[in-house]
Structure 1
Amino acid sequence: MQRAREMRECSPVLVRNAPKQAYSPPFPWLRSSLARNSDTVSLSLWVCGALLTVWVYTSGISPPFPSASSLISSSPTLTSYLERNATYYISATFWNNEDILSAWTSETLQLIDILGPSNVYVSMTENDSEDDTPTMLRRFGRQLDVLNVRHNVNISTGIREEPLNDPWRSVRHRVGYMTNLRNGALQSLEDARQRFDVVILLNDIVFHHTDVLKLVSALGGDDQREKARNNHHKNTRRRMACGLDMDNAALYDAWVLQDRCGRPITGFWPFFTSEEDKQAVRDGHVLEVGTCWNGIAALDGDMFIDSQLRSKTADWHTGALRFSEPPECVISECALLPLRITNTTGGAPIVVDPTVVVAYSVRGWKYYAVWLRMPVVKLWMHIFEERYWDLWWNMGMGKGLRWTGLDNGREKKECIIDGWPRCDTNDAAVPGGFSFRFRGDL
Structure 2
Amino acid sequence: MSYFALSDWARRGSSSLATVGHYLPIPPSPFSSESSASRPSQDDDDDDDDHLDDHHLTKVEAKLHSGYLAPSSPRGQYLAIDGDRPPRLHSRSPSSSSAGSSSAGSTRPRSWLARRDPVLIFVVLLSIATFVALLVAFPFPTTVHAFAAIFVGVTAWTQISCLRIVFALALVAWRGNPKALAKGLPRWSTAQYSFLLVLSTFVLYCLSLGLVPPLNELPPLDRDLAGAPPGKYFIAANLYNNEDLVPHWSDQVVKLAEHLGPSNTFVSIYESNSKDKTPELLADLATRLTHLGVPNRVISEKTARWWAYGTSPERIGFLSAARNKAIEPLQSPDVELRLPDYHEFTKIVFLNDIFFSWQSAVRLLTTSLDGKPGEDGYDLACGMDFNGAGLYDTWVARDICGTPMRTFWPYVKDPVSVARLRQNVPMEVSACWNGMVAFPAAPYLFTPTSAAQSTADERNAAASPGLAKRGWKMVDNATYVGGRMSPPLPSPIQFRISGVDACDHSECFLFSLDLHRLYSSTDRRPRILMNPDVRTGYSVKWWKWNDVVLRIPVLKFWNDHWSRGYPLNIVDFIFEKAGRKRDYCTWSALATHAPSRCPPLPGAIERPWNVAG
Residues in 1 aligned to 2:276 and 2:319: alpha-carbon distance in whole angstroms: 19
For residue 211 of structure 2, the aligned residue among 44, 47, 60 is 60
Q: Secondary structure at the match of 2:244?
A: helix
Shift in Å, 1:117: 0.6
Q: Secondary structure at the match of 2:349?
A: strand
For residue 102 of structure 1, the aligned residue among 247, 250, 274 is 247
Residues in 1 aligned to 2:296 and 2:194: alpha-carbon distance in whole angstroms: 66
1:319 aligned residue? 491
Is 1:258–1:292's contact at 8 Å kept on the other side of the alignment?
A: yes
Aligned in 2, Cα 1:426/1:46: closer, same or farther, shift over 3 Å? closer
Is 2:497–2:505's contact at 8 Å kept on the other side of the alignment?
A: no
Q: Which amino acid aligns with 2:240?
A: W
Shift in Å, 1:378: 0.4
Q: Secondary structure at the match of 2:236?
A: strand
Aligned in 2, Cα 1:116/1:237: closer, same or farther, shift over 3 Å? closer
Aligned in 2, Cα 1:81/1:399: closer, same or farther, shift over 3 Å? farther
Aligned in 2, Cα 1:181/1:283: closer, same or farther, shift over 3 Å? same
1:137 aligned residue? 282
Question: Larger deviation: 276-285 or 384-393?
Answer: 384-393
1:200 aligned residue? 349
Residues in 2 aligned to 1:368 and 1:46: alpha-carbon distance in whole angstroms: 29
Residues in 1 aligned to 2:360 and 2:373: alpha-carbon distance in whole angstroms: 20
Q: Secondary structure at the match of 2:442?
A: helix
Residues in 1 aligned to 2:595 and 2:511: alpha-carbon distance in whole angstroms: 26
Aligned in 2, Cα 1:237/1:217: closer, same or farther, shift over 3 Å? closer
For residue 340 of structure 1, the aligned residue among 511, 514, 517 is 514
Q: Secondary structure at the match of 1:421?
A: helix
1:89 aligned residue? 234
Shift in Å, 1:275: 1.3
Is 1:125–1:185's contact at 8 Å kept on the other side of the alignment?
A: yes
1:435 aligned residue? none
Does structure 1 residue 280 correspond to structure 2 residue 428? no
Q: Which amino acid aligns with 1:201?
A: F
Q: Secondary structure at the match of 1:242?
A: strand
Is 1:205–1:295's contact at 8 Å kept on the other side of the alignment?
A: yes
Shift in Å, 1:370: 1.4
Aligned in 2, Cα 1:425/1:47: closer, same or farther, shift over 3 Å? closer
Shift in Å, 1:249: 3.3
Higher relative contact order (CA 8 A, sep 6+): 1
Q: Secondary structure at the match of 1:269?
A: coil
For residue 365 of structure 2, the aligned residue among 212, 216, 236 is 216
For residue 364 of structure 1, the aligned residue among 526, 537, 542 is 542
1:249 aligned residue? 389
Residues in 1 aligned to 2:434 and 2:201: alpha-carbon distance in whole angstroms: 45
Residues in 1 aligned to 2:566 and 2:290: alpha-carbon distance in whole angstroms: 52
Shift in Å, 1:384: 2.4
Q: Which amino acid aligns with 1:250?
A: G
1:305 aligned residue? 445
Aligned in 2, Cα 1:286/1:424: closer, same or farther, shift over 3 Å? closer
Aligned in 2, Cα 1:391/1:322: closer, same or farther, shift over 3 Å? closer
Shift in Å, 1:386: 2.5
Aligned in 2, Cα 1:355/1:389: closer, same or farther, shift over 3 Å? farther
Q: Deviations over 1:68-99 (max 9, x none)?
A: 2xx22xx6x26348862210000000000111
Residues in 1 aligned to 2:404 and 2:421: alpha-carbon distance in whole angstroms: 16
Alignment gaps of 5+ in structure 2: 1-9, 14-103, 109-192, 332-337, 450-488, 599-612
1:382 aligned residue? 560
Does structure 1 residue 262 correspond to structure 2 residue 402? yes
Does structure 1 residue 183 correspond to structure 2 residue 357? no
Does structure 1 residue 392 correspond to structure 2 residue 541? no
Residues in 2 aligned to 1:204 and 1:402: alpha-carbon distance in whole angstroms: 28
Q: Which has the larger radius of gyration?
A: 2
Q: Deviations over 1:223-273 (max 9, x none)?
A: 2689xxxxxxxxx95211001111123211111100122111111111001
Aligned in 2, Cα 1:222/1:215: closer, same or farther, shift over 3 Å? farther
Q: Secondary structure at the match of 2:386?
A: strand
Residues in 2 aligned to 1:247 and 1:400: alpha-carbon distance in whole angstroms: 22
2:436 aligned residue? 296
Shift in Å, 1:153: 0.4
Residues in 1 aligned to 2:577 and 2:553: alpha-carbon distance in whole angstroms: 28
Pairs within 5 Å for 1:138-177: 138-158=283-303, 160-161=304-305, 163=306, 168=309, 171-177=312-318
Aligned in 2, Cα 1:394/1:182: closer, same or farther, shift over 3 Å? closer
Aligned in 2, Cα 1:398/1:206: closer, same or farther, shift over 3 Å? farther
Question: Larger deviation: 386-395 or 239-248?
Answer: 386-395
Shift in Å, 1:307: 4.3
Q: Which amino acid aligns with 2:541?
A: R
Residues in 1 aligned to 2:543 and 2:310: alpha-carbon distance in whole angstroms: 30
Q: What TM-score does the superposition give when structure 1 sets the normalisation length?
A: 0.72
Q: Which amino acid aligns with 2:556?
A: K
Q: Secondary structure at the match of 1:255?
A: coil
Q: What TM-score does the superposition give when structure 2 sets the normalisation length?
A: 0.53
% identical equivalent positions: 25
Aligned in 2, Cα 1:88/1:82: closer, same or farther, shift over 3 Å? farther
Q: Deviations over 1:4-37 (max 9, x none)?
A: xxxxxxxxx986799989xxxxxxxxxxxxxxxx
Aligned in 2, Cα 1:19/1:390: closer, same or farther, shift over 3 Å? closer
Q: Which amino acid aligns with 2:224?
A: T
Shift in Å, 1:321: 2.0
2:589 aligned residue? 418
Is 1:243–1:353's contact at 8 Å kept on the other side of the alignment?
A: yes
Residues in 1 aligned to 2:528 and 2:595: alpha-carbon distance in whole angstroms: 19
Is 1:266–1:403's contact at 8 Å kept on the other side of the alignment?
A: no
Aligned in 2, Cα 1:403/1:268: closer, same or farther, shift over 3 Å? farther
